[in-house]
C-alpha cells in the first residue's frame, strides 16, 4: 500500500521502482491483484506522509543510539553487515527510506556507488544468456541472484544453506531489521513513542486493508508471522557464511572478486537452466506467469535504476511508515499463490470423479469400482531422478498404471517437485494415461494439446530431466545474494530499525495495552537468540534471555498475539468476531434488569447475536484455538479476565465461594500496573474445560455455574469440547452457542509453513499438507509434531515428512461401519497397510467389529475370485472358518479373561477375513443382525420358559422338549377347532387351555413363537369374528391357574400359597379380586369359577366343583 502511495508521490520514478521491487520480492506473481490494491492505496498518501515525517524525526534519535552501540561492540558489527545487508541489496526495501534519514547522506551515496558496480556485473551475466524469451529472461533475473549466494559458501550445499527453501518473501529483511532494532535501541520507551505515532498512521491504512479480501487478511497475518522466521533462515545461512565472510567483512574488494568468480560459474549454470526451461516451457510459465509482463522489462534494468532508486529513497524517507503496509500487501500476493493452487487442485480432484460418475452409466461405474489394480505391480524399477526434476510440471493421472499404484505415482511426481492435479486443464503438462483411463480426460488433454504419456514415459521423464532447484530454494538463494550485496553497505543497518517497528505495529494495534510490550519483548528475545547463534559465545550478556525463550513450547512461542492472527477466525462471521461483538455489547445489553423479558423473547429469534445470553459457550475439537480466542478477545476489548480450568476445583461450594465473590468485585489490577488510568470494571470469567467438571471433586459444578450465569453481572465464557455431552447440554441452554470448526488444511498450512521457516525446518508444502491432515487439522498437534521432527532433522524431504505424518497420524476414531468397510476395501486404500495396521482396525472396537465383519463378509465381492462362483464360495468358506476361529478365541478370552489373546482374535476375526475377501462391497455395511437376533432369542427363551412353567404340571417336561416336541402340535390343537368349527370350536379350545393352565397371554405367545419365517400364524388367518368369539368365550369364565401371576405375585405369594395347600377351598380367597389361585392338581378337582357377572350366559363349566360363592373370580384377562 504505502509503496504505491509512495509512487503516487513521485510518479516519474514509479515504473522502474515497481519493477525492481517486484523482481526482488518475487512477489511479482500476483501482479494483477497487487495492482488493484495499489489503486486503492494511492488515494491516501498525503496524510500518512506527514505523520511519517514526524516519526522520522523521532527516529533519528534512536538511530544515533544505535550507531553508537554499533561502534562500541565490534562483535556485533560483524554480524550486522551480513544480516542487514539483504535489505540494501533489495531496492524494494523502499521502506527503508526511513532508516536513510538517520544515516548520513554520504553513506547512502556510498551505498549507491557500491551497488552500481555490482549491478552491472549481474546484468552482464544476464546479457550473456540469450534474451530469447521474455519469460525466460525474467527467470534469469531471478536466477543469477539466487545462484550467487550459494557459491560464496563454497563448502556447504545449497540446501543446507537455506534450511527452508520456501522463503519467497522480501519481508525477511524486515524481520531481520526488526530484531536488530531492539538490539540497537534497547529502549522500550523509544518503541512506545514510535508505536504511538505509527498506530495513528497505520490505523487508516489498516482499515483499508481490512476491507480487502479475507484471504488477504489471512495472508497478511501469515506474513506477519513469517517475518520472524525468515531471519532464522538467513541466520543459518549466515552462520555458514560467517567464517569466510567475517574475515572479509569490510573489505569489499575481496567480495567483488568472489563475486566475479561466482558469476562465471553462475553464467554456466544459468545457461543450463535456460536449456531446461526451453525443454519444458511450462516451468517458466508457472513461475513467472503473473509477473511476466513486469519482468520482461527487468533485463533492461541497469545501474541507472539503482541510482534512481536511491533518489527515490531519499525523497521518500519521510514516508517510511507508509511503506510498511505496502510491503504487507506484497507479501500477501505470494501467499495467495501458494494457497490458490492447493485449492484448485483439491477442487479438480473431486470433479473428475463426478464427471466420471455422470458420464458412465451404472455398469461402467461398477466397472470403475471393480477395476483391478496394477497388473504388474512392482515389476518396473522406479527410477531415481535428479532433485526436483519435475519442478513446475503438472501431471494428471488417469486409469490404472501398469506397475505402480496411482498413489505411488502421485507421490513419485510430488517427490520430484511436480504437481498432480485431478483435472486436465491448460496448465497440465502431461497426462499419464493408464489402462481404462477416462475418455473425457483424454479428449480434454488432446484439445489442450497436453502431452499424453504412459507410465514408462513418466519414468523416462524422471530419468532424463535434469535436476532443478525448487522454487523455494531459488527464492532463498536470491535472498542470500541480495543479502551478500548488502554486506558491502553496512551503513544501511541504521535503516532497519524503523521497518521493524512498523512490523510490530499491526500486532500492537490489536491489543494496545496489554500485549504490546510482551510482543516486543518476545520478538526481541527471539532476535537476540538468533543473533546469538552466529556470534556464539561473544554476546554473553544476552544469554539469559535466550535461555528463557528456549524453554517455550512452539505452541506458546507462536501463539497468536491478536485476534486477527488466529487461524481460521478471520471471517466477519467467525466465532471470534461473534464473540467480540457479544462481549462488547454485553454490558450494554445487561446493564439493567428490565431487559430480562426481552431476553426470553430473543431466545426464539433465529439468528441472534447472543445478546440475550449472559454467557457464551465455545465448543469445538481440541487444538483449534478456543482458549486462545477467548483470551485474545478479552485482551482486545481491554477486559480483565479470571480463568478457571480443570486444574481448579470447581465444585458447587468452591464455585460459590471463589468465583461468585470475585465476580462481583472490581479489578484494580490495571490500575496498579499503570496500564489504565481508571479502575477497570469490566472483567470476564473464563471457565475453561467445563466438560471436565466431573467426578466427585466438581460435583454440582455445572448447576452452580448455571446459577452463576443467571445472576452474573459480568460475562462468562465457557469452553468445552463436546457440546452434546449430557452434562453440557443443560449448560448450553443458558449460553450463546459458538461452535468452532476445524480450520481447513490450507488455512493451517500457511501459518505452519511460516513457523517451519522460522525454526529452520524445511518442509515441502505437500508434505506439510500431509502432516496437517495427519494431525486431523489440530493446530496444536501439528506444531508439536513439527517441533519434534525439528529436533532430529532440519530438512524433511517429502518422503520423510509423509511417513512421519503417517506415523504421527492422530488416532482418528473410526466408526464400526468405516472399520468394516476398510477391512474389506481393496486397492490403494489398504495396499500399504501393514499387518499391524490391519489388526488395529479390529481394535477400534474389539467387541463389535468381529460382528460387523461376520455380518458383512458375504456382501463383499472378493477380487481374488475374479467372478468365479466356485472360487468365491471357497473364499467364503475359508473366511467363515476364520471367523469361527475368532469366535473360539473370543470364547476363551471371555470365559477365562485371557485378554492378551485379543490380537489373536484380531487376526482371525478381522485380518484374515479381510485378506481373503478383499474386494468391493456392493452395499453400505449392515449393522450386525446378531445383536437383534440374540435379543429375540432371549425373548423367545423367556416365553418358552414361562410356557414350560405354566404347563409343567401337565407336560412334565423341560422347556427344550416343549419347544421341540410339543409346541407345534399344541398350537394345532389350539387353533384347529377354531379354524374348522369357527365359534363352535371356542369351547374346545378353552378347555384345552384350561387343561394346560394356559392363559390368553400364553396363547398369544404360542402363536407368536410358532410362526416361522415371518409367515402369518394360522391364528391370524382366522376369521376376525371367530377370534372375537374366542376372546369373548375365554373371558367369559375365570380361569384358575396353579401358579401365581406376575401381577399379583408379591401379595399372592405370601397370602395364598401357604394356606392353600390342599385345602381345596381355602386358597381361593382372592384379596385383590384379580386372579384366583388354585393349587389343585387333579383334573377333577379343578375348580371352575363362575363369572363374576352371573348375567345371562353364566355357564357353569364342566362338572368341576363349584366354588362356594365366596370366591370372587375375575376375568383372566
Partner 1 sequence: MSLWVDKYRPTSLSKLDYHKQQAAQLKNLVQCGDFPHLLVFGPSGAGKKTRIMCLLRELYGAGVEKLRIEHQTITTPSKKKIEISTIASNYHLEVNPSDAGNSDRVVIQELLKTVAQSQQLETSTQRDFKVVLLTEVDKLTKDAQHALRRTMEKYMSTCRLILCCNSTSKVISPIRSRCLAVRVPAPSTDEICTVLFNVCKKEGLSLPQELARKIAEKSGRNLRKALLICEACRVQQYPFSSDQDLPETDWEVYVKETANAIVSQQTPQRLLEVRGRLYELLTHCIPPEIIMKSLLSELLNNCDGQLKGEVAQMAAHYEHRLQLGSKAIYHLEAFVAKFMAIYKRFMEDGLEAMMF
Task: Name the minimum Å distance from CB 1106 to partner 1.
Answer: 20
Provide, rounded to whole angstroms, the least separation between the CB of residue 1086 and partner 1. Answer: 12
Nearer to partner 1, 364 or 968 (CB): 968
Cβ atoms of 642 and 717 closer than 8 Å? no
* Residue (558 or 908) nearer to partner 1, CB: 908
Cα(379)–Cα(359) distance, rounded to whole angstroms? 33
Q: State the residue for C-alpha cell 469400482.
A: 369
Cell numbers describing residue 995: 387343561
- Separation of alpha carbons 290 and 22, rounded Å: 11
- Residue 1070 is classified by DSSP as -
What does R_g of the chain's alpha carbons equal in angstroms? Answer: 41
Residue that is written with C-alpha cell 496524510 in the block? 47
> Nearer to partner 1 by C-beta: 181 or 1078?
1078
Task: Say which residue the cell 492378551 belongs to.
Answer: 900
The alpha carbon of 829 is separated from its chain's Cα centroid by a whole number of angstroms, namely 21
Q: Which grid cell sits at 140?
A: 534469469
Closer to partner 1 at the Cβ: 54 or 1057?
1057
Smallest gap, in angstroms, from Cβ of residue 970 to partner 1? 7
**Least Å from the CB of residue 963 to partner 1:** 5
Q: What does each C-alpha distance from 335 to 27, 41, 55, 222, 995 come to in angstroms?
A: 9, 20, 30, 8, 90
Q: What are phi and psi of 884, to 5 degrees?
A: -60, -45
User: Whole-number minimum distance, CB 1097 to partner 1, in Å?
Assistant: 21
Q: What's the min distance (Å) between Cβ of 838 and partner 1? A: 20
DSSP H helical ranges for 10-104: 14-25, 31-42, 45-71, 74-89, 97-102
CB of 1051 to partner 1, least distance (A): 13
> How far apart are CB 1039 and partner 1 at their closest, in Å?
14
Burial label, 956 (beta-carbon count in 10 A; 0-12, 13-18, 19+): exposed
Pick 647 or 1082: Cβ nearer partner 1? 1082
CB 332 within 8 A of CB 30: yes
429: helix, strand or coil: coil
Nearer to partner 1, 234 or 1010 (CB): 1010
720 beta partners:
619
Residue with cell 399379583: 1048
Tell me the closest approach of the beta carbon of residue 557 to partner 1, in angstroms. Answer: 55
Minimum CB–partner distance for residue 995 and partner 1 (Å):
4
| Sign of the dihedral defined by the CA atoms of residues 850, 856, 860, 862, in that order | positive
Q: In the complex with partner 1, which residue's Cβ is closer, 648 or 881?
A: 881
Q: Is 356 or 887 the residue whose CB approaches partner 1 more closely? A: 887
- Residue number, 480 or 990, with CB nearest to partner 1: 990
Q: Which residue has the cell 450463546?
A: 736
Instruction: Indicate if the alpha-carbon torsion angle 444, 450, 452, 458 is positive or negative.
Output: negative
In this complex, which beta carbon is closest to partner 1, that of residue 663 or of residue 880?
A: 880
Nearest CA among 346, 218, 164 for reference residue 764: 164
Q: Is 431 helix (H, G, I), strand (E, B) or coil?
A: strand
Burial pattern 688-707, b for ≥16 Cβ within 10 A else e, equals bbbbbbeeeebeebbebbeb
Nearest approach, Cβ of residue 880 and partner 1 (Å): 4
Cα–Cα distances (Å) from 254 to 251, 491, 561, 926, in that order, read 6, 18, 44, 77
Q: Contact at 8 Å (CB) between 626 and 719?
A: yes
Residue 1042 beta carbon to partner 1: minimum distance, rounded to whole angstroms? 5
Nearest CB to partner 1, comparing residues 47 and 929: 929
Residue 1105 C-beta: closest distance to partner 1, Å: 15
Is the Cβ of residue 647 or residue 847 nearer to partner 1 in the bound state?
Answer: 847
Q: How far is the CB of 862 from partner 1 (least distance, A)?
A: 9
For partner 1, give the closer residue by CB, 620 or 913: 913
Q: Is 828 helix (H, G, I), strand (E, B) or coil?
A: helix
Contacts of range 7-13, beta carbons closer than 8 Å, 24 or more positions apart: 7/38, 7/42, 8/42, 8/45, 9/45, 9/49, 9/315, 9/316, 9/319, 10/312, 10/315, 10/316, 13/308, 13/311, 13/312
CB of residue 1040 to partner 1, shortest distance in Å:
12
Burial label, 495 (beta-carbon count in 10 A; 0-12, 13-18, 19+): buried
Residue 841 CB, nearest distance to partner 1 (Å)? 19
d(CA 747, CA 782): 13
Question: Do 820 and 925 meet the contact criterion of CB atoms below 8 Å apart?
Answer: yes
> How far apart are CB 868 and partner 1 at their closest, in Å?
10
CB of 844 to partner 1, least distance (A): 20
* Helix, strand or coil, per DSSP, at residue 1109: coil
Q: Is 980 exposed, middle or buried (0-12, 13-18, 19+ CB in 10 A)?
A: exposed
Which CB atom, from 69 or from 887, has the smaller least distance to partner 1? 887
Closest listed residue to residue 297, CA positions, set 105, 141, 80, 528: 141
User: For partner 1, which is the closer residue by CB, 1081 or 1100?
Assistant: 1081
Question: Rounded to whole angstroms, how far apart are CA atoms 889 and 905?
Answer: 6
Q: Phi, psi at residue 102, to the nearest 5°?
A: -65, -35
| Contact yes or no for 913/881 (Cβ under 8 A) | no
How does DSSP classify residue 536?
Answer: T
- Judged by beta carbon, residue 401 or residue 993, the one nearer partner 1 is 993
Residue closer to partner 1 by CB (options 679, 1083) is 1083
776 vs 955 by CB, closer to partner 1: 955
Amino acid at each position: 500500500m504505502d509503496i504505491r502511495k509512495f509512487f503516487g508521490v513521485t510518479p516519474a520514478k514509479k515504473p522502474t521502482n515497481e519493477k525492481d521491487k517486484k523482481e526482488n520480492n518475487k512477489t511479482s506473481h500476483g501482479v494483477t491483484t497487487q495492482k488493484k490494491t495499489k489503486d486503492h492505496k494511492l488515494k491516501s498518501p498525503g496524510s500518512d506522509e506527514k505523520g511519517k515525517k514526524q516519526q522520522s524525526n523521532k527516529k533519528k534519535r534512536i538511530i544515533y543510539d544505535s550507531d553508537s552501540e554499533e561502534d562500541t561492540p565490534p562483535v556485533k558489527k560483524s554480524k550486522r553487515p551480513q544480516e542487514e545487508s539483504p535489505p540494501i541489496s533489495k531496492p524494494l526495501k523502499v521502506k527503508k527510506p526511513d532508516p536513510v534519514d538517520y544515516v548520513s547522506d554520504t553513506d547512502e551515496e556510498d551505498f549507491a556507488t557500491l551497488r552500481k558496480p555490482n549491478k552491472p556485473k549481474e546484468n552482464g551475466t544476464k546479457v550473456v544468456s540469450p534474451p530469447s524469451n521474455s519469460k525466460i529472461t525474467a527467470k534469469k533475473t531471478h536466477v543469477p541472484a539466487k545462484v550467487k549466494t550459494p557459491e560464496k559458501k563454497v563448502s556447504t550445499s545449497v540446501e543446507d544453506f537455506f534450511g527452508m527453501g520456501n522463503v519467497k518473501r522480501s519481508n525477511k529483511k524486515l524481520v531481520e531489521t526488526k530484531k536488530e532494532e531492539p538490539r540497537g535501541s534497547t529502549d522500550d520507551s523509544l518503541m512506545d513513542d514510535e508505536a504511538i505515532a505509527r498506530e495513528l498512521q497505520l490505523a487508516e491504512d489498516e482499515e483499508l486493508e481490512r476491507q480487502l479480501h479475507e484471504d488477504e487478511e489471512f495472508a497478511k497475518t501469515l506474513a506477519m508471522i513469517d517475518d520472524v522466521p525468515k531471519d532464522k533462515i538467513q541466520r543459518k545461512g549466515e552462520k555458514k557464511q560467517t567464517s569466510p565472510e567475517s574475515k572479509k567483512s569490510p573489505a569489499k574488494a575481496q567480495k567483488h572478486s568472489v563475486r566475479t568468480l561466482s558469476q562465471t560459474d553462475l553464467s554456466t549454470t544459468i545457461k543450463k537452466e535456460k536449456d531446461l526451461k526451453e525443454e519444458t516451457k511450462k516451468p517458466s510459465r508457472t513461475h513467472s506467469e503473473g509477473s511476466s509482463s513486469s519482468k520482461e522489462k527487468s533485463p533492461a534494468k541497469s545501474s541507472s535504476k539503482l541510482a534512481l532508486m536511491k533518489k527515490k529513497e531519499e525523497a521518500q524517507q519521510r514516508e517510511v511508515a507508509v511503506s510498511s503496509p505496502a510491503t504487507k500487501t506484497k507479501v500477501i500476493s505470494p501467499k495467495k499463490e501458494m494457497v490458490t493452487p492447493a485449492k484448485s487442485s483439491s477442487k479438480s480432484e473431486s470433479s473428475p470423479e463426478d464427471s466420471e460418475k455422470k458420464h458412465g452409466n451404472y455398469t461402467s461405474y461398477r466397472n470403475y469400482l471393480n477395476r483391478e489394480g496394477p497388473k504388474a505391480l512392482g515389476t518396473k524399477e522406479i527410477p531415481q531422478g535428479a532433485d526436483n526434476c519435475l519442478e513446475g510440471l503438472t501431471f494428471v493421472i488417469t486409469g490404472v498404471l501398469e506397475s505402480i499404484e496411482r498413489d505411488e505415482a502421485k507421490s513419485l511426481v510430488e517427490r520430484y517437485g511436480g504437481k498432480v492435479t485431478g483435472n486436465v486443464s491448460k496448465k497440465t503438462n502431461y497426462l499419464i494415461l493408464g489402462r481404462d483411463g477416462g475418455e473425457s480426460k483424454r479428449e480434454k488433454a488432446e484439445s489442450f494439446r497436453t502431452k499424453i504419456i504412459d507410465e514408462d514415459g513418466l519414468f523416462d521423464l524422471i530419468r532424463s530431466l535434469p535436476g532443478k532447484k525448487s522454487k523455494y530454494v531459488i527464492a532463498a538463494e536470491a535472498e542470500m545474494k541480495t543479502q551478500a550485496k548488502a554486506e558491502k553497505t553496512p551503513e544501511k543497518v541504521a535503516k532497519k530499525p524503523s521497518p521493524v517497528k512498523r512490523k510490530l505495529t499491526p500486532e500492537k494495534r490489536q491489543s494496545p495495552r496489554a500485549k504490546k510490550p510482551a510482543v516486543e519483548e518476545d520478538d526481541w528475545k527471539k532476535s537476540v537468540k538468533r543473533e546469538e547463534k552466529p556470534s556464539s559465545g561473544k554476546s554473553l550478556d544476552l544469554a539469559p534471555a535466550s535461555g528463557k525463550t528456549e524453554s517455550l513450547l512452539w505452541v506458546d512461542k507462536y501463539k497468536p498475539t491478536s485476534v486477527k492472527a488466529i487461524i481460521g477466525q478471520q471471517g466477519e462471521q467467525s466465532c471470534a468476531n461473534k464473540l467480540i461483538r457479544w462481549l462488547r455489547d454485553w454490558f450494554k445489553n445487561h446493564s439493567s434488569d428490565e431487559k430480562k423479558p426481552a431476553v426470553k423473547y430473543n431466545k426464539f429469534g433465529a439468528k441472534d447475536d447472543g445478546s440475550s445470553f449472559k454467557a457464551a459457550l465455545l465448543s469445538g475439537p481440541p487444538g483449534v484455538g478456543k482458549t486462545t480466542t477467548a483470551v485474545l478477545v478479552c485482551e482486545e476489548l481491554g477486559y480483565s479476565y479470571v480463568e478457571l480450568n480443570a486444574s481448579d476445583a470447581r465444585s458447587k461450594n468452591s464455585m460459590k465461594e471463589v468465583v461468585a465473590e470475585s465476580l462481583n468485585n472490581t479489578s484494580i489490577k490495571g490500575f496498579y500496573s499503570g496500564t489504565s488510568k481508571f479502575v477497570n470494571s469490566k472483567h470476564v470469567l473464563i471457565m475453561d474445560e467445563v466438560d471436565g467438571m466431573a467426578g466427585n471433586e466438581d460435583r454440582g459444578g455445572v448447576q452452580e455455574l448455571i446459577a452463576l450465569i443467571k445472576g452474573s453481572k459480568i460475562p462468562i465464557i465457557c469452553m468445552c469440547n463436546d457440546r452434546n455431552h449430557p452434562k453440557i447440554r443443560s449448560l448450553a441452554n443458558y449460553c450463546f452457542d459458538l461452535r468452532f470448526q476445524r480450520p481447513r488444511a490450507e488455512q493451517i498450512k500457511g501459518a505452519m509453513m511460516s513457523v517451519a521457516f522460522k525454526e529452520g525446518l524445511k518442509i515441502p508444502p505437500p508434505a506439510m499438507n500431509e502432516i496437517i491432515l495427519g494431525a486431523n487439522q489440530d493446530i496444536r498437534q501439528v506444531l508439536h509434531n513439527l517441533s519434534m521432527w525439528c529436533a532430529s532433522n532440519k530438512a524433511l524431504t517429502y518422503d520423510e515428512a509423509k511417513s512421519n505424518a503417517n506415523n504421527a497420524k492422530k488416532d482418528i476414531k473410526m466408526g464400526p461401519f468405516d472399520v468394516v468397510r476398510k477391512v474389506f476395501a481393496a486397492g490403494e486404500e489398504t495396499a500399504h497397510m501393514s499387518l499391524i495396521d490391519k489388526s488395529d482396525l479390529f481394535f477400534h472396537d474389539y467387541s463389535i467389529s468381529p460382528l460387523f465383519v461376520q455380518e458383512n463378509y458375504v456382501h463383499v465381492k472378493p477380487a481374488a475370485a475374479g467372478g468365479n462362483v466356485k472360487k468365491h464360495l471357497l473364499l467364503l468358506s475359508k473366511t467363515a472358518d476364520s471367523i469361527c476361529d475368532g469366535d473360539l478365541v473370543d470364547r476363551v478370552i471371555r470365559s477365562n479373561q485371557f485378554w492378551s489373546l485379543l490380537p489373536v482374535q484380531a487376526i482371525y476375526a478381522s485380518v484374515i477375513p479381510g485378506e481373503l475377501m478383499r474386494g468391493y462391497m456392493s452395499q453400505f455395511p449392515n449393522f450386525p443382525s446378531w445383536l437383534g437376533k440374540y435379543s429375540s432369542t432371549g425373548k423367545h427363551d423367556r416365553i418358552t420358559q414361562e410356557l414350560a412353567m405354566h404347563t409343567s404340571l401337565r407336560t412334565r417336561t423341560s422347556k427344550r422338549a416343549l419347544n421341540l416336541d410339543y409346541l407345534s402340535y399344541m398350537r394345532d390343537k389350539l387353533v384347529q377347532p377354531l379354524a374348522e368349527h369357527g365359534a363352535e370350536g371356542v369351547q374346545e379350545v378353552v378347555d384345552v387351555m384350561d387343561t394346560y393352565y394356559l392363559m390368553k397371554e400364553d396363547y398369544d405367545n404360542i402363536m407368536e413363537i410358532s410362526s416361522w419365517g415371518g409367515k402369518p400364524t394360522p391364528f391370524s388367518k382366522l376369521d376376525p369374528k371367530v377370534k372375537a368369539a374366542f376372546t369373548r368365550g375365554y373371558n367369559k369364565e375365570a380361569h384358575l391357574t396353579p401358579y401365581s401371576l406376575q401381577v399379583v405375585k408379591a401379595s399372592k405369594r405370601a397370602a395364598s400359597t401357604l394356606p392353600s395347600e390342599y385345602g381345596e377351598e381355602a386358597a381361593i380367597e382372592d384379596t385383590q379380586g384379580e386372579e384366583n389361585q388354585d393349587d389343585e392338581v387333579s383334573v377333577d378337582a379343578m375348580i371352575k369359577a363362575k363369572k363374576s357377572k352371573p348375567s345371562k350366559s353364566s355357564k357353569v363349566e364342566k362338572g368341576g366343583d363349584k366354588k362356594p360363592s365366596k370366591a370372587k373370580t375375575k376375568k383372566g384377562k
